[in-house]
Amino acid sequence: MPTIITFRCGLKWIIIASLLISLPFLTDVIIGRNWVRILDFALLYSILALGLNIVIGFAGLLDLGFVAFFAVGAYTYAILASPHLGLHLPVGIILPLGTILAGGFGILLGLPTLKLRGDYLAIVTLGFGEIIRIFLNNLNAPYNLTGGPQGINLIDPLILAGFNFNQNDLLPSVYQYYYLFLFCTMITLFICQRLQNSRIGRAWIAIREDEIAAQAMGINTRNIKLLAFSMGASFGGLGGGLFAGFQGFVSPESFNLMESIMILCMIVLGGMGHIWGVIFGAVVLTLLPEALRYLGTIQQALFGQIWIDPADLRLLIFGLALILVMLLRPAGLYPTPVRKSEFETAEEIDEL
Amino acid sequence: MEVLLQQCINGLVLGSIYAIVALGYTLVYGILRLINFAHGEVVMLGAMIGLSVMQKLINLQWSVLPIIFISLLIAMIGCMTIGYLIERIAYRRLRHAPNLAPLITAIGVSIVLQNIAMMIWGKEFVVFPPIIPINYYSIHEATINSLQIGIICLSIIMMLGLRYLIQATRLGNAMRATAQNTEVAALMGININHIISFTFILGSALAAVAGLMVAAYYGLAHYDMGFILGLKAFTAAVLGGIGNLTGAMLGGLLLGIIESIGAGYLGDLTGGILGSNYQDVFAFFVLITVLIFKPSGLLGQASGERP
């Protein structure tokens, strides 16, 4: 009876949708408004993690400088829409511009490295992330482009089609950003899903599994890898633009290596190449550090002083998570069935 | 001209430190085909352990040489233990895993070590106690001090020692055999696990010395100094041809000289637009240039391509 099945499926989606829509209200009432803001960040990181997942999870290229593309997007927005240079271009132009610019940087960085072994790419991207930060830090002289270590303040809020996300009487702004980010995450999710099941997506996965075999099957590996790289980068750029508009200020400090590592950790923890796993990882790893803050309060209550600063613990946990997941569950906590079986057969072959 | 000579001297000192760290990368890469991201952190831990021991010993009113010798020794032992544990816990199980897995674990190890160091030694700079008497000598208007001479001499001794170990001893023979072909080496009766452990221990011992040399050169150590140092040393290893010991030494020295000459003249060349605060960028441009034009490095075989 197909009608009932469609009805049940429809019901499932209606429940999920209504949960997602009411989530900020529920969170606000139950835990507090601060957590709605954290939810916003969870969605933002989902976009970034989905972007990086294209590079690492689908195409198997270890990109450790992802935050550089995030920074490109954020600074594009900040420079073109703030009193810093007196420019106030509309968001409809800046966001796509930042996205394209980040994608372009991705191609620039990928060109010399993608024909080499994968480890080189890792270290070059690592260096690139650091270089971008050095430039952001120092480009305040002789011409003040990035504002140096202070960064850029008073960035214009996101205004889409005449709708200002910071000032209107409809809803508190964190709610509105929640819905905007939810919308963007949905679009990213949709693109990733469609890509995964497309010719390009299959080519990426083929390259991840065996590059030589992929080449033998007629895939232009270099171009397809470049495409993955720049595509991931452009999602980073989009996330950066949204971040700048949401936050209202940017500074080089927000774009350090640890940010890249954190996004990497989200992907690894959730399951490389699995779209839902990646979102799971992004949400868990955004909420976890916030929850850890209570650890400081607990320590204060129990011992009268703070032994371990929860903010320091955060990175330690990320590092440990990377090691433990790779050692114990290399396919991630929430892997795709295919990926899981691949890792299991790999182990069996080893045992033989 | 005197500026050029001075920058060359500075570059040589810096370069010999890079060379020692680069040797650690190249040794491990030669055998496991793995970039040991955590190597930079081992260097940092070497500096930290050495400085802590040094501060303890200074309170005992000892003379200079035994203080340096003992703190160097303890730093080396500490780093060798850490290096062994890293391999044993984090890398050994993943030797045959899909190729991203060991890289990701290596990053995890690096972060864990860095944060442990931050918890133990705090976020402030640890200062190198001013116990080494520094005399200045002048060569054609450029100066070199006794500390710099000491660093250069120590690294030359270590490089020669390592060369002897690899080329002329039974152990070195086994290491080279393992690097060439692990399976066949195992068939010849070489215990692969021991050789790999030994490689990590050897690299970490070098890292400990390099760490103390960096701390002495800059007068400071910091919990996040390992990252950028590791990146530069890796660049040096790639420049010389990764997997090649002589290449790592050459690459280290070259990179040091390029970096200090570049930083010295960058301001003049660009009319003051880019200053010496871009010093760290040089290593990266060298890396990119090498990867584009000669991915196998100066002395390496064509091993840069994907297997």
> At residue A27, what is the residue type?
T
Residue B138, H or E segment: strand B136-139
Search chain A and give the residue with CA nearest B229.
A127
What pLDDT is stored for residue B274 in this prediction?
65
* Rounded Cα gap, residues B111 and B113, in angstroms: 5
Write down the mean pLDDT value for chain B.
Answer: 87
Rounded-to-integer distance, Cα B286 and Cα B288, Å: 6
CB pairs under 8 A between A and B: 131
Judged by a CB distance cut-off of 8 A, whether residue B133 touches chain A is no
**Tens-digit pLDDT profile for residues A31-80:** 777 888 888 899 999 999 999 999 998 988 888 889 999 999 999 988 88
Distance CA B42, CA B28 (A): 13
ipTM for the complex shown: 0.83
- Cα three-residue angle A231-A234-A235, rounded to 5 degrees: 90
Q: Which of B97, B107, B115 sits opposite A322 (nearest CB)?
A: B107
Assigned token pair, A350? 């080893």
Q: Supply the pLDDT for residue A130.
A: 84
Most confident of A222-236, B96-110, B125-139, B263-277: A222-236
CB of B181 within 8 Å of a chain A CB? The answer is no
Confirm or reject contact between A140 and chain B (CB < 8 A). Answer: no
- To probe the interface with B, which of A105, A117, A308 has the most B CB atoms within 10 Å? A117
Chain A residues whose CB is inside 8 A of the B278 CB are: 134, 138
Residue with token string 């929860």: A310
Please indicate, yes or no, whether the overall pTM of this predicted structure exceeds 0.90: no
* List of E strands, chain A: 81-82, 87-88, 159-160, 163-164
The alpha carbon of residue A36 is apart from the nearest alpha carbon of chain B, in Å, by: 30
Which stretch, A127-136, B92-101, B133-142, B159-168, has highest mean pLDDT?
A: B159-168
Cβ contacts (< 8 Å) between A56 and chain B: which residues? Answer: 100
Would the CB atoms of B100 and A350 count as touching at under 8 Å?
Answer: no
Interchain pair B277, A134: CB under 8 A = yes
Q: Which two tokens stand for residue A232?
A: 């991931």
Answer whether B108 touches A (CB < 8 Å). Answer: yes
Three-state DSSP state, B190: coil
